[in-house]
Amino acid sequence: MPQGATEKPGTSKDVPVRMEGISKRFPGVVANDRVDLEVRAGEIHGLVGENGAGKSTLMRTLYGLYPPDEGRIVVRGREVRMSSPRQAIALGIGMVHQHFVLVDRFTAAENVVLGSEGGAIVDLDDAEERIAELGRSFGFSVDPRARVEDLSIGAQQRVEILKALYRGVSVLILDEPTAVLTPPETKELFADLRRLREAGNAVVFISHKLDEVLSLCDRITVLRRGRVVGETTPEETSKAELAEMMVGRPVLFRLDKPKVEAGSTVLRVESLRLGTQLKDVDLEVRSGEILGVAGVEGNGQRELAEALLGLRPPDGGRMLLEGDDLAGRSVEQIRGAGVAYIPEDRHGRGLVLEMTLWENVALGRQARPEFSSRLGTLLIRRIKELATRLIRAFDVRARSVGVEAATLSGGNQQKLLLARELDGEPRLLVAAQPTRGLDVGAIEFVWRRILEQKARGCAVLLISAELEEIYELSDRIVTMYEGRITGEYPPTAPPEELGIGMTGGRAAPGAA
């Protein structure tokens, strides 16, 4: 090694990565503002902050994806300039993205080797042996010969981590790794990460789930609006304090659930079938009740919601809204019957981003006599009045109802959607992943509004992959797996029990 080590030798050994005064600006936005971050060997470092706080930008800078405008990155005592992830990996820094970058039809070993074959001829047997060895040394159980498409999400994630380890990475960045995992998979991941730590590696764990950060991490750095607002340890802090640091104001985690006696049955779903996605689904939601549907995404939840709204005609079964079968009705008729919908895909199934706020408010009620004349013209003045009122009531921050929805932030777009859907006192609310991608403040807002509907006597079907959300809001919980309802639980059931249902095991009879 040539000279040029600018740090004291003692510290540089324990500090594989030090970021000093990192600033990164995008046109008009300061994503990172003089951020200092130190990642030590043998620690799991939590990086928390709301959406847009600059966590990802900071880590992309460290991973060589963005050159910083100011500041320096010191890796093991030497200042480095990186212009690509390849260089970052060569320096021992690896990153696992939230969305995996794996070739489904390749085996685990082929995926791990891909990109670092090192020559024209790939010795797969040798690679498989090395990968198995690597897995053994960290206690990872992955079959190198298994095809990625046959692996569970948790196993796919391990392949991603192995990919980094195979390349000799000792600083591993994980971007929201638990977002896609079931509770048992999360537990396994945490065990894996702890073993990596014991072996002297450093892990940077990006998350907005504070409970996870507090239970897993050794040190925690909090970002807000591009700046470091605090560095702490789980011993020194609490969930409430972390949340306040993130948001800049106190956040209530325990919302007061309104005490509502569940009334008569509003929705009864009987052996609903739809292709291979829904297999004899039975459900019942009563007025003033929130039924949480827990499950890993892609197990039929989307189809269930879309069938209820009339967006996908079911192949069989009944969907009774206060005794009326909704099967075979149009979306317009079903909405007219008092069903509101918060879609998981805000942009693809909810808003029209290039349209104005008032035009978005009109969507779903454009055919009502209050808003369109018999001659077929829109009563624009009335729609604008409604939009103005709703935007005020739901605190959508916008200059006027005439701006395009695309100009709003994610949280405000969701508020706009809620405003549109919840006005008019629906009898049934189908809420699918209603807080996806929102920051803490907005999540709280959405939860309150859903609880308001319950208090009003609305029946709520809450579909969510976030267990925290399910627990926070639900009066009863069912789990869904591969198109089936696999169990029913009270909101007091421990997550492990739900985990069984979410991975296919039927709950023991009488669990509810």
Partner 1 sequence: MAERARRPWVDALTGQVLGLVAAFLFAGVVGGAIIAAYGESPLRVYGVIIDFSTARFQDVARVLENATPLIFSGLAVAVAFRAGMFNIGVEGQYYVGMITATIAAVFFDLPGVLHLIVVILFAALGGMAWAAIPAILKVKTGAHEVVTTIMMNGIAISLVGWALNNLLRTTDVGLVDLRSDRFPESAVMPHIGDSLGLSKETIPNSVNLTWLFPLALVACVAVWFLLSRTRLGYEARATGLSPGSAEAGGVSIGGVQLKAFLISGALAGFVGLNHLIGDVGFLGINYETTLGFTGIGVAFLGRNHPIGIVLAAILLGMIARGQDGVAIITDLPREILIILEGLLIMSVVVAYEVVRRVLLRRRQRVVRAEEEMPGEAASAPA
364 is an interface residue for partner 1 by CB under 8 A: yes
Closer Cβ to partner 1, 197 or 415, answer by number:
415
Interacting residues with partner 1 between 403 and 422 (CB under 8 A): 403-404, 406-409, 412
Closer Cβ to partner 1, 76 or 208, answer by number:
208
Q: How far is the CB of 433 from partner 1 (least distance, A)?
A: 14
Interacting residues with partner 1 between 218 and 257 (CB under 8 A): 225
Closer Cβ to partner 1, 3 or 373, answer by number:
373
Q: How far is the CB of 372 from partner 1 (least distance, A)?
A: 4
Interacting residues with partner 1 between 292 and 351 (CB under 8 A): 309, 311, 330-332, 335, 341, 343, 345, 347-351
Give the ranges where 48-121 is alpha helix by DSSP (H): 55-62, 85-90, 108-113
Q: How far is the CB of 57 from partner 1 (least distance, A)?
A: 15
Tokens 């409604």 correspond to: 386
**Partner residues linked to 291 by β-bridges:** 461, 476
Contact stretch for partner 1 (CB under 8 A) within 2-10, 35-43, 197-205, 371-379: 371-379
433 is an interface residue for partner 1 by CB under 8 A: no
What residues contact residue 189 under an 8 Å CB cut-off, 6+ apart?
A: 154, 157, 177, 178, 181
Closer Cβ to partner 1, 167 or 312, answer by number:
312
If residue 73 lies in a helix (H) or strand (E), which one and from where to where?
Answer: strand 70-75
Q: How far is the CB of 434 from partner 1 (least distance, A)?
A: 15
Closer Cβ to partner 1, 306 or 497, answer by number:
306
What residues contact residue 226 under an 8 Å CB cut-off, 6+ apart?
A: 30, 31, 32, 33, 35, 53, 54, 57
DSSP 221-279: EEEETTEEEEEE-TTT--HHHHHHHHHSS---SS---------SEEEEEEEEEETTTEE
Query: What DSSP designation does 508 have?
Result: P
27 is an interface residue for partner 1 by CB under 8 A: yes
Q: How many residues bind partner 1 (CB under 8 A)?
A: 44
Contact 38, 17 (CB under 8 A): yes
28 is an interface residue for partner 1 by CB under 8 A: yes
Q: How far is the CB of 292 from partner 1 (least distance, A)?
A: 22
Closer Cβ to partner 1, 187 or 347, answer by number:
347
Contact 13, 76 (CB under 8 A): yes
What residues contact residue 415 under an 8 Å CB cut-off, 6+ apart?
A: 394, 395, 396, 442, 445, 446
> Amino acid letter at 329?
R
The contact set with partner 1 (CB under 8 A) reads 25, 27-29, 225, 309, 311, 330-332, 335, 341, 343, 345, 347-355, 359, 362-364, 366-367, 372, 376-378, 380, 397-399, 403-404, 406-409, 412
